[in-house]
Amino acid sequence: MATLKTKIKLYCEANSKVYEDERNANNILIQNDGAGDYIKVWSVSGVAKPTDSQLNSYNTNATKEENNNVIRDTRRKNYGNIGEQLDEIYKDIDAWKARIKKIKDDNPKE
């Protein structure tokens, strides 16, 4: 199951808001009292606080986003330093393309 944060992020995007901007402005505060995460503060201008039902409707897409973030991180680590990649391209672009293709094939996005 996806995290509350990711579901809220998607809810914000669907309402033309940027989650990080709202969080940084202290308009959204997620808290955990030991029983799980919940929205403690919601003061996003022009957007009503989402209901549990609304947030749950984002579960599939939020899970997909979280899974793809793991894949992106794995790919990024396997790609290596950009300077080393540029050197590899200069020396042998075909070998670089084959290596990058293998990384992508081994770590497909959903």
What structural domains does the chain harbor?
4-77 (3.30.56)
* pLDDT beyond 90 at 1: no
Compute the average pLDDT of residues 82-102: 95
Predicted pLDDT of residue 86: 95
Work out the angle at residue 32's Cα, subtended by the Cα atoms of residues 26 and 33, and round it to the nearest 5 degrees. Answer: 125
Q: What average pLDDT does this structure show over 70-96?
A: 95
Mean pLDDT, the chain, integer: 96
SS3 category, 40? strand
Identify the pLDDT of residue 110: 86
The model's pLDDT over 16-61, given as tens digits with 9 standing for 90+, comes to 999 999 999 999 999 999 999 999 999 999 999 999 999 999 999 9
Q: What is the pLDDT of residue 31?
A: 97
pTM of the model: 0.78
Amino acid 9: pLDDT: 97
